[in-house]
Chains A and B, each alone.
Chain A
Amino acid sequence: MEFLLENILNFVGFLVGLAIGLMSYIGFRNTGSPTLFRLTIAFVSISLGFFVIWSGYMVEDFLIKSGSIERWIQTVGIVIQTVGYFFIAFSHSIKSFFPKSNYFRSVGILPFFLVSTVQLEHIFRSISFILLVYGAIETILSYRDNKNKGAISVSLGLALLALGEFLGWYSFVFPESVLYTISMIIKIAGLIALFIPVSKVPLKKIKFDDDLDKI
């Protein structure tokens, strides 16, 4: 069951990331916007990260057949995804995430110590979680300004990915529980929520135009 869900999750992640990455790239080619360039890097990285893990599972399933994926492949995929989440967070200017009170600042640092385990994968999962939470908060705050309902869906998608990432990390504490399965289902739901508003953007009649690159 877990194996199947992992395959579905990573394949959906690969497709959704690729679709949004391509849209961002077309937007970048048409407008030259640096924001769309950063989104391109973000979603191509996320797509590539999911693809690496999905390939790992496929190779394991059809060739190696050892019963578990090579740990380093999972880690490489998660690191690449984290780069993508970083660029989503980086696209927002920092305006809301740093609390003013010293007490809350100290609490804000706490997750770094809580997750400082020896395994690289745990560290990158925790970084992904923080970046996703930041991206979700900034996106929902933008709804106040633009009243775009799509922002709610994207924010929900990022929040679900963050929750899935957190539960995925937390499942190491309870390895025999259903937490990991739940985390994968939540992440799939997050990816779908991320894609819904983007799929509604009208992109008809838009074509590449090399003359516009310099603007």
Chain B
Amino acid sequence: MGEYRTQMKIIGDILSTTRDDLQDEDGATVTYLIRKANISHSRISRLLKTLVSQGLLEQADSQGSNRYKISQSGREFLQAYNSFTKFADNFGLNI
């Protein structure tokens, strides 16, 4: 049985992928993110829209498709997320 992931964990996975695991400099495509974050197209579309509106991801049109890169705010959020994941781990909890 697969591990249950919270919404926060999925967001962390998406941001980590756009920071550390990009296909090329233009950013990651939706298809690539779906594969890496392992979630459905409809769910990732909603999340990407939210992350872009919150300024955590930057969206750009490249070669006829939307591509996503992490923003400075996104990097700061990811740093906080990683720190507080360790913090919550100490209590046996997932954030």
Instruction: Say which size band chain B's interface belongs to.
Output: 20 to 34
- In the bound complex, do residue B95 and residue A139 qualify as a contact, i.e. CB atoms below 8 Å apart? no
Contacts of B91 in A (CB 8 A): 39, 88, 91, 139, 151, 154
Scan residues 56-95 of chain B and give those whose CB is less than 8 A from a CB of chain A.
Answer: 56, 73, 76-77, 79-81, 83-84, 86-95
Q: How many A-B residue pairs have CB under 8 A?
A: 100
Contact of A206 among B51, B56, B79, B92 (CB under 8 A): B79
**Contacting residues, chain A, for B89 (C-beta < 8 A):** 142, 146, 148, 150-151
Min CB–CB distance B43 → chain A (angstroms): 15
Which residues of the other chain, B, contact A211 by a CB distance below 8 angstroms? Answer: 54-55, 73
Report yes or no: A212 in contact with B73, Cβ–Cβ below 8 A. yes
Interface size on A, residues (CB 8 A): 39
Q: A155 interface residue, CB < 8 Å from B?
A: yes
Report which of B77, B80, B92 forms a contact with A139, defined as CB distance below 8 A: B92
Q: How far is the CB of A92 from chain B (nearest CB, A)?
A: 7
Are B93 and A203 in touch, CB under 8 angstroms?
no
User: A153–B91 Cα gap in the complex (Å)?
Assistant: 9
Complex-state Cα separation, A205 to B84, whole angstroms: 13
Q: Which of B84, B90, B93, B95 has the most A CB atoms < 10 Å from its CB?
A: B90
The residue that A151 contacts in the complex, of B50, B54, B90, with Cβ under 8 A, is B90
User: Known interface pairs A30-B84, A31-B84. Does A92 touch B93 (Cβ–Cβ under 8 Å)?
Assistant: yes
Residues on B with C-beta less than 8 A from A33 are: 8, 84, 88, 95
State A39–B92 Cα separation when bound (angstroms).
12
Pick the contact of A215 from B56, B76, B86, B95 — CB < 8 Å? B56
Q: Write out, one digit per residue, whether chain A residues 9-32 have a CB within 8 A of any chain B CB (1) or not (0).
A: 000000000000001100100111
Can you name 28 A-B residue pairings with CB atoms under 8 Å? A27-B84, A27-B95, A30-B81, A30-B84, A31-B8, A31-B84, A32-B8, A33-B95, A36-B88, A39-B91, A39-B93, A139-B91, A140-B92, A150-B89, A151-B89, A151-B90, A151-B91, A154-B90, A197-B90, A201-B83, A201-B84, A202-B86, A205-B79, A206-B76, A207-B76, A211-B54, A212-B56, A212-B73
